[in-house]
Amino acid sequence: MSMRGMDLLTLQELSKRDLERVFELTKELRARVAVGDLPPVLSGKSVAMIFQRPSTRTRISFEVAIRQLGGHPIYLSWEELQLARGETIEDTARVLSRYVDAVVARVSLHSDLEKLAEEAPVPVINALSNRFHPCQVVADLFTMLEHKGYLEGLKVAYVGDGTNVCNTLLVGCTKMGVDISVACPKGYDPDSQAIEWARENAEETGALVEILRDPAKAVEGADVVYTDTFVSMGLEAEREKRLKVFLPKYQVNLELMSKANPDAIFMHCLPAHRGEEVADEVIDGPMSVVFDQAENRLHTQRALLALIV
């Protein structure tokens, strides 16, 4: 089925075949950008980019990708929209859809994104919500594919907070037949809907899904060790409490990496908090692919935009 015009809110909307198509187009467009031969598939199209939270990678990679494809990105900080003065999300969605061809949105509450998508006839792409970060995980899977050469049969260990990124990894890995073991403290488990989707996907692809407490157990036999911040955006007030819960047990350091496969890679969506969820020796070490991973946001989003918008 075509991805044209679809909303991308959680990643569960995409099939394994869709993701394979995204990866193929990612490679093709990356090769073409290198020789200055990108097709202007977004020519004459405008994309609104609503950000309710800060962003370095997502904002810039989307803006660059949209421009490279001949489109016009419009960055809209939530604070500068009438949204901040109480205009409803639904009305904002209806109005924006009269002007633009797609909406990319980073929101605090996933339910706001659902309202936006419900009311906007144009495609809505999640640029991170409290529950899901699909564009991140598309880039992550592509990064694993590039570094390992294949996806089906790989094992990812996610250590730390059951965040938006962890939820989406559960969905994305299981779609592609990648085993995933999550180790998180009690009370910081991934989203129950994400676990349910992961189990459904795993039944189709044969992937293994484990939610554990012990990081050492999760990284056993892992090809990829992944972590994210212990204090996601919006949770700053819980910082002290969270650091007490997560440290030292859930930090990805050399000792924990030594329990994974010898050729395991380290991944992180960034921004990283060195000395908290990851030790310098790991993120700056030879096993770290975090900057390739960040670069791949641009390459994979180019493909997503070309297929969806």
Q: How far is the CB of 75 from ligand NVA (least distance, A)?
A: 17
- Select from 68-76, 144-152, 224-232, 258-266 the region that touches ligand NVA (CB under 6 A): 224-232
Q: Does 163 bind ligand NVA (CB under 6 A)?
A: yes
Q: Which amino acid is at 255?
A: E
* Residue nearest to ligand CP as judged by C-beta position: 58
From the list 7, 140, 191, 228, which residue makes contact with ligand NVA (rule: CB under 6 A)? Answer: 228
Residues 6+ apart with CB under 8 A from 262: none
- Catalytic residue (choose from 12, 52, 136, 293): 136
C-alpha distances (whole Å) from 302 to each of 4, 19, 38, 182, 287 are 14, 13, 10, 30, 27
Residue among 99, 97, 147, 155 nearest 123 (CA): 97
- Ranges within 81-140 binding ligand NVA (CB under 6 A): 128
Helix (H, G, I), strand (E, B) or coil at 183: strand
Which of 12, 229, 251, 300: binder of ligand NVA (CB under 6 A)? 229
Buried b (16+ CB within 10 A) or exposed e, 221-230: ebbbbbbbbb
Stretch that binds ligand NVA, among 16-24, 181-189, 225-233, 288-296 (CB under 6 A): 225-233
Q: Would residue 85 show up in a list of annotated catalytic residues for this protein?
A: no
Verify whether residue 32 is a known catalytic residue: no
* Binding partner of residue 56 among ligand CP, ligand NVA, none, CB cut-off 5 to 8 Å per kind: ligand CP
Record the tokens describing residue 230, joined without a space: 């212990």
Residues in contact with ligand NVA by the rule CB under 6 A: 128, 163-165, 228-229, 232-233, 269
Active site residues: 106, 133, 136, 228, 269, 297
